[in-house]
Amino acid sequence: MLNVGFIGWRGMVGSVLMARMLSENDFQGISPLFFTTSQVGQKPPDIGVELPPLKDAYDIETLAGMDVIMTCQGGDYTKSVYEKLRSTGWNGYWVDAASTLRMSDDSVIVLDPVNRSVIESALEQGTRNFIGGNCTVSLMLMAIGGLFKAGLIEWLTSMTYQAASGAGAKNMRELASQMAAIGKASEDLLSDPASAVQEIDRRVIGAMRDSTFPVDHFGVPLAGSVIPWIDSELESGQSKEEWKGSAETNKMLNNDPPIPIDGICVRIGAMRCHCQALTIKLTKRVPLDEIESIIAESNEWVRVVANTKEETMRQLTPAAVTGKLDVPVGRIRNLNIGPAYLTLYTVGDQLLWGAAEPVRRMLNILKGRLS
């Protein structure tokens, strides 16, 4: 049986991964061992079978006994362990949700409903590192992978609306705390239907600008506001998140020459669903019904939503999509600027297709090949 070591299973991405693996019965046919960086010797998760206590995630010898290492622990862990482990001669498969190894020449970014052929040919050639992609990139490709495959994209620009979860568990807590602080500041006025909205507005902005407003993790208010910068600054003027849109998409699809992709990434006050509005310059004019069919047929999770107010409001929001594997795509229409300019809007749960699901499915691909 395949020996699989799990690191980072307790975190936000890891716990979504565990839940998905249990619901899909993925532990069947593998021999799992659970590691930790902080709770060595404590109880492993309950997956319905007897397991030894948690192992030390820095113990290279024990790690080297694994056929596959599946880590959702984060980039610092990958940096501190990966090279040491490989330098022992370990030749197993490293499957990782962190970005550290994504752009390395000897790794493939995995999203099998979109790039299964790239994954398969890398496996044939002996590639051992399979890394989950950036959440926004993976969700964009789940939505419009079909248009890329059909060679219909000359360039694209994305305007994103990204959830707090992309920044981590502490940021999700902070967003909810900010919402609570705003609610508390205006509570008495909200319970009085006769109160003036100007006073509510004054209290809300007063709370957001107060020195006690919780901003330790985001740095500034997100609830009641938006933050048009995600990740670090690059000399190009892009944020790192914006740079990933082009770099990772083109690597995932093995595009040569690369397709130009750029945009602005914005953090909004949603908990765990990213949304993005795309403008696409098509390589040729294509009727909208054909575009919709190509999108709808590209994988079993993408859903075309009719471009009506009612369906958009019902289906194309974080409130509707959170916790689901569905990737709805709507607002599909040609822009007034010209018939080869297409716009659309898509939503996806970034802890599922944006993080846990691609690495979960990669483990199953390995299980299928190696068991």
Residues that bind ligand NAP (CB under 6 A): 8, 10-14, 36-39, 57, 72-75, 97-99, 132, 135, 165-166, 168-169, 350-351, 354-355
**Backbone conformation region of residue 30, classed left if phi is above 0, alpha if psi is from -120 to 50, else beta:** beta
CB closer to ligand NAP, 74 vs 328: 74
C-alpha to C-alpha distance for 298 and 204, rounded to whole angstroms:
45
Distance CA 85, CA 59 (A): 9
| 161 versus 213: smaller Cβ distance to ligand NAP | 161
CB of 318 to ligand NAP, least distance (A): 14
> Cβ-closest residue to ligand NAP?
11
Burial of 229 (0-12, 13-18, 19+ CB in 10 A): middle
On whether the CB atoms of residues 189 and 197 are closer than 8 A, the answer is no
Catalytic hit among 72, 135, 265, 275: 135
13 or 316, CB closer to ligand NAP?
A: 13
Least distance (Å) from ligand NAP to the CB of residue 244?
11
**Nearest CB to ligand NAP, comparing residues 175 and 204:** 175
- Could you confirm whether 274 is annotated as catalytic? yes
Phi, psi of 42 (to 5 degrees): -80, 180
**Which is nearer to ligand NAP, 213 or 218 (by Cβ)?**
218
Distance CA(65)–CA(53), nearest Å, equals 16
Q: What are phi and psi of 275, to 5 degrees?
A: -120, 155
Catalytic entry in 72, 273, 274, 275: 274
Instruction: Specify burial of residue 27 (Cβ count, 10 A radius: 0-12, 13-18, 19+).
Output: middle
How far is the C-alpha of 322 from the C-alpha of 165, rounded, in Å? Answer: 12
User: At closest approach, how far in Å is the CB of 56 from ligand NAP?
Assistant: 10
Per-residue DSSP letter, 48: S
Contact status, residue 261 vs residue 156, Cβ threshold 8 Å = yes
CB neighbour list of residue 358: distance below 8 Å, 6 or more residues apart: 110, 111, 112, 132, 133, 138
| 3-state per-residue secondary structure call for 163-185 | CHHHHCHHHHHHHHHHHHHHHHH
Q: How far is the CB of 58 from ligand NAP (least distance, A)?
A: 10
Shortest reach from residue 272's CB to ligand NAP, in Å: 8
Are 309 and 125 within 8 A, CB to CB? Answer: no
CB of 169 to ligand NAP, least distance (A): 4
Verify whether residue 217 is a known catalytic residue: no
For ligand NAP, the closer CB: 155 or 301 = 301
Given phi > 0 = left and psi -120 to 50 = alpha, else beta, which region is 261? beta
CB of 100 or CB of 283, closer to ligand NAP: 100
Closest CB 322 distance from ligand NAP, rounded Å: 13
In angstroms, the CA 327 to CA 307 distance is: 15
Residues recognised as catalytic: 135, 274
